[in-house]
Structure 1
């Protein structure tokens, strides 16, 4: 491969960032019009044995799995076996929400776009319970969710029963509010099973992985053979106030949630998969989905914030006047990953690391900026100043918590007359960029938050990242 002009400065930046975060290993690979144009491995797949990383090393891809799930749904739609606009209860009559009318109105489309109206629930933890109990590094997590982990959620029926009994307030009518829902995607796996007559895993294997030639992509690494170029997992933790990254073998699993985020894959396989979105459905010489289905997957169905939208299992972001960025991240213990496609430029890319909470968005942004000849600090989107009355700012402070364990505090800085976002020990000044929307910068990447009001104008939730956190105090 011909070396690109931007590679040296980009790789120096990446190495500094990976060193700062103590990421043991990563691989970054890019293709143009289906041909590999850039690949670079950093660190090791096993830090202790210094085992190298290559294009076939298998990493976890986490929630990038969601796009596979949506692709499977659209294949079934093409066959006339379902429609994305069918009510969920057509296929899952056991499904319940706190509101019977809402239960009947929620469609497969709402599941695929995280717009069913559910706040983040804690069900992923009990869904992973057997694998968490076998993992010494999960001890603190289990203690934090002790009340939710009385029983494992090992089946789709158990997941629906858990969701029915768990007390929560709906965010709004179906289709009106975006908030990331692992539960919805877990249950898309149940719909695939009931419609196809095959297990979710078997369907994905037979109808997606095999036709695409993705021989290094599995739900269980044991299928690859012991020690077969699979990464070790690592996780960061605090030890007497000092951050350390520890070896954490053992993949987490959730049988009832595999459709939400439990595939493992290699960089070579993921570039082949990303090509489906570059071409409108074609990869490895096979038409995986129709042009129309590909267009449905990549359409901006639901607005996340002022700059981001969500298609079916994919984020949709205007990258410039000329380009659209299709992307999804994935994260779990030992996993931080990001896939991206810039269809207008014929570009596909994958970034895989073997540690959770790696700075993947920063890495992706700097890679895109390098490739497209933009200054490295250029953000995904820019926003002008917005004046907010003092009385409004004073309404916003509080603590916002989600069922998944996320906690964000907002406080008012009297001296500077501005809001601050507190995440753990980090404090970020907030800059108003819209009516209820504020911007903060973390790891050199701008992010938006939005205060969500009820019909009386009272602030009830904080939309941050891809989730809405209810106000606790």
Structure 2
């Protein structure tokens, strides 16, 4: 594909930052493929930095910028967790509410025990629900390498829930479940009487000034590729709260800043969300359960690991064409966001490198 697939020159990602910070961040850019669009945002004390490399697509005409949108994958779950904490702060829902209260009659997983699944179980991956909904994989196979979940609707999900197995006692063990967090988004929708995206916009994104964070179309986005072909934008109509958001380095910088400096974050009082959103930002990072196998602690969706540099709070995600990482260290007042249009084989390496960068920035 020649120059069409590999632009002749890439813009320098570090034109204005210190040599020391450029040295720390360079491995993130080298662990994405040469044709990837990459955006990295850093908070370090009073310092705020965004560095970008690459182009929106393989035409090589439009460079990635701080306001370019990327697919967040499972980093979306941290927004759903913040929405849950905000609705708890308002008194609209409680962490120990059973999910049955907010689902149609008969559209509830069968429990092997008398203990019901609660909202907190969904937000801490302790529900016992499987990773993905029953029936999703067969419908997704024909589109597995492009947009596998696009035709699996909320109606499909509600029909699948009664056939969904619950493994063990809810609350007993951490088992990662995208279904659980996506179901949490649906539960919050039903509790508030608003669609997930509308609810998230009014309670979280608008008050925090996240102007380019949404599930749908928006400002210019990076295009993903597989084997030289464009991959359609990721869609997850049944479970938007699990992995459907897109955002920019600018917006994610504001999102992390809100977690690091709760009292200083400018939330317009007229929105009515200032008190409840600040309470939610404090609540969302509190550890709730411990992962027996890894020793990591689970907050509301966020993972927390103790290190010599302090408590590292983080979440990673991916879609068919993108990788994303978001993390922060409250004691060091450090935050890092890294987003890239990555090839499948480089996703884990990219997010692991981002985690190591967060540790080094904290030191």
TM-score after normalising by structure 1:
0.65
1:192 matched to 2:183? The reply is no
Following TM superposition, by how much is the alpha carbon of 1:308 offset from its aligned partner in structure 2, in angstroms?
A: 1.5
- Greater gyration radius: 1
Of 203, 216, 235, 1:220 maps to: 216
Report the Cα distance in structure 2 between the residues aligned to 1:246 and 1:204, rounded to whole angstroms: 35
Map of 1:343 onto structure 2: 330
8 A contact 1:126–1:153 mirrored in 2: no
CA gap 1:256/1:210 in 2 versus in 1, 3 angstroms = same
CA gap 1:32/1:127 in 2 versus in 1, 3 angstroms = farther
Following TM superposition, by how much is the alpha carbon of 1:297 offset from its aligned partner in structure 2, in angstroms?
A: 1.3
Following TM superposition, by how much is the alpha carbon of 1:120 offset from its aligned partner in structure 2, in angstroms?
A: 2.4
Map of 1:24 onto structure 2: 36
CA gap 1:314/1:5 in 2 versus in 1, 3 angstroms = same
8 A contact 1:118–1:181 mirrored in 2: yes
8 A contact 1:24–1:47 mirrored in 2: no
1:61 matched to 2:60? The reply is no
Segments of structure 2 that go 5 or more residues without pairing to the other structure are 1-14, 269-273
The correspondence of residues 343-382 of structure 1 with structure 2, limited to 5 A, is 343-355=330-342, 357=344, 358=347, 359-373=349-363
1:201 matched to 2:200? The reply is no
How many residues are treated as equivalent by the alignment? 339
Question: Structure 1 stretches (4+) deviating beyond 6 angstroms?
Answer: none
Report the Cα distance in structure 2 between the residues aligned to 1:263 and 1:361, rounded to whole angstroms: 18
Report the Cα distance in structure 1 between the residues aligned to 2:253 and 2:260, rounded to whole angstroms: 10
Following TM superposition, by how much is the alpha carbon of 1:8 offset from its aligned partner in structure 2, in angstroms?
A: 4.3
The correspondence of residues 425-444 of structure 1 with structure 2, limited to 5 A, is none
SS in 1 for 2:247: strand
Following TM superposition, by how much is the alpha carbon of 1:360 offset from its aligned partner in structure 2, in angstroms?
A: 2.5
SS in 2 for 1:255: coil
Map of 1:76 onto structure 2: 87
8 A contact 1:25–1:47 mirrored in 2: no
8 A contact 1:45–1:354 mirrored in 2: no
Of 113, 118, 132, 1:107 maps to: 118
1:319 matched to 2:307? The reply is yes
Segments of structure 1 that go 5 or more residues without pairing to the other structure are 143-148, 236-244, 374-473
Following TM superposition, by how much is the alpha carbon of 1:283 offset from its aligned partner in structure 2, in angstroms?
A: 2.7
Following TM superposition, by how much is the alpha carbon of 1:367 offset from its aligned partner in structure 2, in angstroms?
A: 1.9
Of 319, 326, 333, 2:320 maps to: 333
1:171 matched to 2:183? The reply is no
Map of 1:429 onto structure 2: none
The correspondence of residues 25-40 of structure 1 with structure 2, limited to 5 A, is 25-33=37-45, 35-36=47-48, 38-40=49-51
The correspondence of residues 231-310 of structure 1 with structure 2, limited to 5 A, is 231-235=222-226, 245-280=227-262, 283-286=265-268, 287=274, 289=276, 292-304=279-291, 305-310=293-298
1:161 matched to 2:148? The reply is no
Aligned-CA RMSD value: 2.9
8 A contact 1:234–1:334 mirrored in 2: yes
Report the Cα distance in structure 2 between the residues aligned to 1:65 and 1:85, rounded to whole angstroms: 22
SS in 2 for 1:105: coil
8 A contact 1:59–1:231 mirrored in 2: yes
Identify the structure with the greater strand proportion.
1
Of 132, 150, 155, 1:121 maps to: 132
Following TM superposition, by how much is the alpha carbon of 1:162 offset from its aligned partner in structure 2, in angstroms?
A: 0.9
SS in 1 for 2:206: helix
8 A contact 2:44–2:334 mirrored in 1: yes
